């Protein structure tokens, strides 16, 4: 019981420590807000589904430090984003630009949706056209005999 409680306390303290990593250390509130907004626009290259502001990865901390240093150097937001893009590629941006190299990224979901609809339409049409053929009069009479139990050829159990 004590070990479980101690482990729980350590886990909570570790979570609190990591939560403080993303808070800016700049003293100017305007600059701190700017840093948080820039960090929210950049993707963590390790986590890939979190911004560097949300991520606890070491690389995200390094990227936040780079953003902080560039803000301190007097760079504009566009210059910082351009620097990060030049260094890490368009993937580092949550909203990559629409250009030839990111065309599949932008149009991929729509293409997959259209392909899925095309496949579903073909399956539905194939099922409609492959209906069971009608019974011949002889087959119909045979079914009637089997259902009535008057078939002489049917095996008895």
pLDDT < 70: residue spans in the chain: 1-27, 131-132, 151-157
Question: What pLDDT shows up at residue 7?
Answer: 53
Question: What pLDDT shows up at residue 24?
Answer: 47
Question: What pLDDT shows up at residue 31?
Answer: 85
In this structure, the number of other CB atoms found within 10 A of the CB of residue 53 comes to 22
Question: What pLDDT shows up at residue 20?
Answer: 43
Question: What pLDDT shows up at residue 75?
Answer: 92
> Quick one: DSSP state of residue 91?
G
pLDDT (tens digit per residue) in 106-121: 888 999 999 999 999 9
pLDDT (tens digit per residue) in 30-51: 888 899 999 998 998 888 788 8
What CATH number is given for 2-97 in this structure? Answer: 1.10.8.640
Distance CA 63, CA 153 (A): 83
Domains of the chain by residue range: 2-97, 103-148
Compute and round to an integer the Cα radius of gyration of the chain.
33
Question: What pLDDT shows up at residue 19?
Answer: 43
Question: What pLDDT shows up at residue 134?
Answer: 79
Q: How far is CA 116 from the centre of its chain?
A: 18
Question: What pLDDT shows up at residue 112?
Answer: 95
């Amino acid at each position: 019981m004590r070990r479980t409680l101690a482990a729980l306390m350590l886990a909570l303290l570790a979570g609190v420590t990591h939560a403080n990593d993303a808070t800016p250390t700049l003293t100017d509130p305007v600059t701190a807000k700017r840093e948080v907004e820039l960090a929210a626009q950049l993707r963590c290259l390790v986590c890939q589904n979190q911004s560097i502001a949300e991520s606890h990865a070491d690389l995200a901390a390094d990227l936040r430090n780079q953003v902080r240093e560039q803000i301190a150097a007097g760079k504009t937001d566009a210059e910082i984003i351009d620097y990060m893009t030049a260094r890490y590629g368009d993937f580092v941006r949550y909203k990559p630009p629409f250009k030839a190299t990111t065309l599949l990224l932008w149009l991929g979901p729509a293409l997959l949706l259209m392909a899925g609809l095309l496949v579903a339409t073909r399956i539905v049409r194939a099922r409609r056209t492959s209906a069971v053929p009608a019974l011949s009069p002889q087959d119909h009479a045979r079914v009637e005999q089997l259902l009535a139990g008057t078939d002489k050829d049917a095996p008895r159990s």
